[in-house]
Amino acid sequence: EKAGHRHFMAKEIHEQPQTLSDVLNTYIDGARVKLPTDYDFAATDRIQMVACGTAHIACTVAKYWFEALARLPVDVDIASEYRYREGPVGPDTTALFVSQSGETADTLAALRYAKGQARAILSVVNVPESSIARESDIAFPIHAGVEVGVASTKAFVNQLAMLLALAVAAGVQRGKIDAAREAELVAGLKLLPGIMAQALTIEDRCEALASKLAEATDILFLGRGPMYPMAHEGALKLKEISYIHAEAYASGELKHGPIALVDRTLPVVVFAPMDPLFNKTVSNMQEVMAREGRVLLVTDSDGAAQASDGVWEVLVMPTVDPVFAPLVYAVPAQLLAYHTAVHKGTDVDQPRNLAKSVTVE
Ligand code: F6R
């Protein structure tokens, strides 16, 4: 049932080109994005997203997309905070809940808090018959199939893919994306499963790097823009399954505190595809290197050509339009954590103290 893989997590990581294409097929219609259920994003003035864990990280990536592509303001909250904070919910706010299981207690309670106040309750779920799906006005299923590994992988990528579709649909409805740009985005989406398959070929490199990362007691992850939440995804996956302490920071925050941690024992993983923020991230990376920190630069071939000098290790990812980079950079986040955990001999599919579905507060 693990289809020849050593763990469910490995199987699920390798299923991603297929599961990603499964969700894309539900909303790509020729050169257009057509949501499985219509929702009018032109009639809302704000989106409130709420989730836990990895699903919360997917929401944080989606904030960049909704704001840039649809010019729609987004707030993102952790469900356990949101449910008790007594935040005002305006009648024009769209509340959007993201959950793989659809049963997470805090996310469900947050949904019930917003219900009756928000303009509509939307959800992005993997289990269509779940409580969160049932209690939403519209549930958008992500079609990732059953996910057994406790650490979410293919569901995270499909959450991203569905949230991106919602952001593009919102951009079109709000007149911020014209037909030519929509066609360009859709063409890019169609290439993504192939690019994910290419991204998976970094596996051997990740395995080699893992033996080095496994020696660390702490690892820092850095990124800017949408790579900042992806740094969180890298740190969360690593903590969960390898039990190595990891933290994520926005690259620009480095000098406001965490740079004090940097010495020659600290691996610093930098997610930096070639995008308009690349040079800024590289200058933060150089601040780490100047203090003998060991930088693992995760970038594409252009990035590697420009910024490999003095770097400890470079992991070269396929080149992709920066809009889609979060989906592709999920792969190194997953594979670095997976192989580090395998190297340490931890229980990858059932990490200590964790449950797949958190149905109690
Ligand atoms: C991390 C992970 C968890 C879940 C979180 C929310 O790899 O799997 O952080 O993302 O417990 O679960 P769902 O999405 O079921 O609400």
Give the number of the atom of ligand 1 that is nearest the alpha carbon of residue 54: 10
Residues 293, 34: Cα–Cα separation, whole Å: 47
Give the pLDDT band (50/70/90) at residue 137: very high
Strands, DSSP E only, in the chain? 28-29, 32-33, 46-51, 74-78, 93-99, 120-125, 138-141, 218-223, 245-250, 267-271, 294-299, 313-316
- Interval between CA 292 and ligand 1 midpoint (Å): 35
Q: What is the pLDDT of residues 299-327, one digit of tens each?
A: 999 999 999 999 999 999 999 999 999 99
Query: Which pLDDT band, with edges at 50, 70 and 90, does 87 fall under?
Result: very high
101 Cβ closer than 6 Å to some ligand 1 atom: yes
Residue type, 184: E
Mean pLDDT for 103-124 is: 98
- The proportion of the chain whose per-residue pLDDT surpasses 90, expressed as a percent, equals 98
How far from 192 is each of 26, 31, 92, 109, 180, CA to CA, in Å? 15, 15, 34, 35, 19
Instruction: Tell me the C-alpha distance between 11 and 8, whole Å.
Output: 5
Query: What does the pLDDT look like over 324-339, one tens digit per residue?
Result: 999 999 999 999 999 9
pLDDT at 162: 98
Neighbours of 99 (CB within 10 A): 31
Answer yes or no: is the C-beta of 107 below 6 A from any ligand 1 atom: yes
Q: Is the CB of 106 under 6 A from ligand 1?
A: no
Ligand 1 contact, 55 CB (< 6 A): yes
In whole angstroms, give the CA distance from residue 329 to residue 332: 6
- Tell me the pLDDT tens digit for each residue of 247-297: 999 999 999 999 999 999 999 999 999 999 999 999 999 999 999 999 999
Predicted structure pTM score: 0.98
> Considering only CA atoms, which of 71, 70, 47 is closest in space to residue 60?
47
Taking alpha carbons only, the member of 221, 174, 271, 229 closest to residue 60 is 229
Question: For this structure, is 11 an active site residue?
Answer: no
Ligand 1 centroid, distance to 149 Cα (angstroms): 11
- Catalytic residue from among 212, 239, 280, 356: 356
The SS3 assignment for 102 reads coil
